[in-house]
Amino acid sequence: MPETELSNPLMRNPETEVAAAVPDLETQTGTAVTREKRQAAVEPDPEAEPMTKPKQNGERYRLLKNIGALAVCPMQGGQAHIHLIRNAVILWKGDTIQYAGGQEGLREWFRSRGTAGADEPRRSGRDATGEFGESEVPGVPEVPEGSGEPGESRKPGGPGSAEAGPMPLPEQTEVFDAGGRLVIPGLVDCHTHLAFGGWRPDEFEMRSLGKSYEEIAAAGGGILSTMKATRKATEDELLDKSAGLLHRMMSLGVTTIECKSGYGLRLEDELKQLRVYQRLRMQSPVRIMSTFLGAHAIPPEFRDNRNGYVSLVIGEMIPAVAEHKLATFCDVFADAPAFTQAEARNVLTAAAEAGLIPKIHADQLTAAGGAELAAEVGAISADHLECISDKGIAAIKDAGIIAVSLPLATWYLRKQPLPARELIRSGVPVAVSTDFNPGSAPSYHLPLAMHLACTLQHMSPAEVLKGATIYAAAALGLDGVTGSVEAGKKADFVEIDVEGEGNLPGHAADPLHGHTGAGLQSGSGRSESRRPADRNQNGERNEPSPDIGLAGPVNQWMYHFQPNNAVRVWAGGECVADSGWNRNL
């Protein structure tokens, strides 16, 4: 079900983000998520970026060294292609990544730009303690000559040898040590219902005793129950509650979040929810994208006048939301218990005319043609899709729409999951999100949703990671801004502590467990590693290979699930969460 929204206050300029975005990148099928859709989601929406100014770093470089494995997660290459680079570093300035790739490639990057670090004498740098001085410059760890695979012999005097010495860095570079950890892009929760009044624990008991979603709604529970609590709550009360939830989400590695209204179901209360997201953006370092979801359910006062409520949404709510620039997207719950296809079409058409980008809660409870409608209205994403038909899969594939899977809702409602393997085989990018809300998915834990996507949806850990990063960003039109660790994108990434460090550099490791060194050279932001052809000798499309065994640290992270493996979370180049857990250092 549609539910929550989130915010980000490290100052990011939307115009700068668009200008820095990497070129259009294809999905695994070659079907592009159109640049027009992506930029439309970012450019007209200054509210999406945090409005408070971050700690200013000026023009100083920052470096995260000693990354055991970096999961780049580029848009191209297919659902399973995360482009894992061993022995990596990330260099950024301000809030923008300058280089991400193998350690030795950074030396060449500096050399090509005539920057200190290639041939100049080493200057004073600053480590994570903030102390300056010649002795504190840790330099970039040595890397063996050649591919950079762990365990290779070093050639005396070669680029990775002891004789080569630490890499000199530009003056006042601030250096952080990842301690050999796995580093991933900042997670993107692209479907939440963050601001709401009350909770609904009694419904959990009712479902445990066999009651269905529809039966609970008919008894006065469900969305309308939360509507009553949300209408009673003040804006400040909703803000305080949402801010606490958002902080906990951020600590899990979430750096971008989409938040929906939909629990007011009357003009003043829908705007109240959206203003909460606007205010959160002023005080949180998380990037927030807002979605208007007035067409979430028919409120009690319009029970006998559905047309009257749809007219209210179209004639009053949408114009007010657009006028005050409170949302980027407009969503509709297009399924049997909520809105018909005709009603949803009318709402989304009006929203598009007002400048809002369509999204759809589609085919969650019944095969109601929601996916086909998403293709018809040009939605940027179709969410839920547990009951999607073969015709619906073909429709969203041809329209270049992101399929957003919500495994926590599947789990809580005890429904069949969406057919992820069929979607991936058909060339549809599958994102993973929480659907955090007080009823059908009362958990904000995106890593748990990722784990469930593996176990319930039969997706590999690599496929799931890509679904919660670059594909989730594409579902918000932000794949040119965040969702992957590439030059030109925002410095949003997470250091993950992985049990069983035998898979990481510095330990006995299988050299087949990942790509290394030369991945993203010279700050190109492009993935150069080989990938399987997407068609067989008869010209038929292959299902993208899961690359079993090539994503060792990611597999280990998802397999050995823990409440929180995020050690440090970086958003816009600033460390916004630090667990202080330095077991690897």
- Averaged pLDDT for residues 382-397: 98
> Cα Rg for the chain, rounded, in angstroms?
24
Q: What is the pLDDT of residue 166?
A: 66
State yes or no: pLDDT of 44 exceeds 50.
no
Give 151-201 pLDDT, tens digit per residue. Answer: 232 333 333 333 445 667 888 899 999 999 999 999 999 999 999 999 999
Q: What is the pLDDT of residue 234?
A: 98
Q: 230, 235, 289, 303: which is closest to 263 by C-alpha?
A: 230
Between CA 396 and CA 376 the distance in angstroms is: 9
Between CA 68 and CA 86 the distance in angstroms is: 6
Give 212-271 pLDDT, tens digit per residue. Answer: 888 888 888 899 999 999 999 999 999 999 999 999 999 999 999 999 999 999 999 999
Q: How confident is the model at residue 58 (pLDDT cuts 50, 70, 90)?
A: low
Structure token digits, residue 172? 């006042």
Cα–Cα separations (whole angstroms), residue 218 to 14, 29, 203, 221, 249: 43, 42, 12, 7, 32
- Range among 3-12, 16-25, 28-37, 484-493 with highest mean pLDDT value: 484-493
Between CA 157 and CA 213 the distance in angstroms is: 68
Q: What is the pLDDT of residue 155?
A: 34
Cα–Cα separations (whole angstroms), residue 552 to 85, 101, 542: 12, 18, 23
Q: What is the pLDDT of residue 550?
A: 66
Asked, for residue 465, whether it belongs to a domain, the answer is yes
Give 409-429 pLDDT, tens digit per residue. Answer: 999 999 999 999 999 999 999
The CATH number of residue 380's host domain is: 3.20.20.140
Give 427-476 pLDDT, tens digit per residue. Answer: 999 999 999 999 999 999 999 999 999 999 999 999 999 999 999 999 99
Q: 569, 14, 576, 9: which is closest to 277 by C-alpha?
A: 9
State yes or no: pLDDT of 29 exceeds 60.
no
Percent of the chain with pLDDT over 90: 65
Percent of the chain with pLDDT over 70: 71
Q: How confident is the model at residue 112 (pLDDT cuts 50, 70, 90)?
A: confident
Average pLDDT of the chain is 80
- Averaged pLDDT for residues 44-63: 60
Asked, for residue 454, whether it belongs to a domain, the answer is yes
Q: What is the pLDDT of residue 104?
A: 85
Cα–Cα separations (whole angstroms), residue 425 to 22, 80, 110, 181: 27, 12, 41, 32
Give the count of domains, the chain. Answer: 1
Structure token digits, residue 62? 């920052």
Asked, for residue 326, whether it belongs to a domain, the answer is yes
- Averaged pLDDT for residues 492-504: 77
Asked, for residue 323, whether it belongs to a domain, the answer is yes
Three-state DSSP string of 295-311: ECCCCHHHCCCHHHHHH
Q: How confident is the model at residue 538 (pLDDT cuts 50, 70, 90)?
A: very low
Q: 268, 379, 284: which is closest to 326 by C-alpha?
A: 268
State yes or no: pLDDT of 331 exceeds 90.
yes
What pTM did the predictor assign? 0.81
Asked, for residue 148, whether it belongs to a domain, the answer is no
Q: What is the pLDDT of residue 114?
A: 75
Q: What is the pLDDT of residue 12?
A: 34
| Range in 157-161, 286-290, 372-376 the model is least confident about | 157-161
State yes or no: pLDDT of 583 exceeds 80.
no
Q: How confident is the model at residue 110 (pLDDT cuts 50, 70, 90)?
A: confident
**Which residue in the block uniquely carries the two structure tokens 């499309």?**
541
State yes or no: pLDDT of 142 exceeds 70.
no
Asked, for residue 365, whether it belongs to a domain, the answer is yes
Structure token digits, residue 245? 């939830």
| Range in 84-93, 216-225, 278-287, 324-333 the model is least confident about | 216-225
Q: What is the pLDDT of residue 549?
A: 56
State yes or no: pLDDT of 88 exceeds 80.
yes
Between CA 450 and CA 552 the distance in angstroms is: 16
Q: What is the pLDDT of residue 3?
A: 35
| Range in 82-91, 164-173, 416-425, 538-547 the model is least confident about | 538-547
Q: What is the pLDDT of residue 158?
A: 38
- Residue 386 structural domain: 187-474
Give 334-361 pLDDT, tens digit per residue. Answer: 998 899 999 999 999 999 999 999 999 9
Between CA 83 and CA 561 the distance in angstroms is: 22
Amino acid at site 342: A
Tell me if residue 74 falls in helix, strand or coil.
coil
Q: How confident is the model at residue 107 (pLDDT cuts 50, 70, 90)?
A: confident
Q: 50, 47, 39, 46: which is closest to 357 by C-alpha?
A: 39
| Range in 201-205, 265-269, 519-523, 542-546 the model is least confident about | 519-523
Asked, for residue 486, whether it belongs to a domain, the answer is no
Asked, for residue 107, whether it belongs to a domain, the answer is no
Q: What is the pLDDT of residue 466?
A: 98
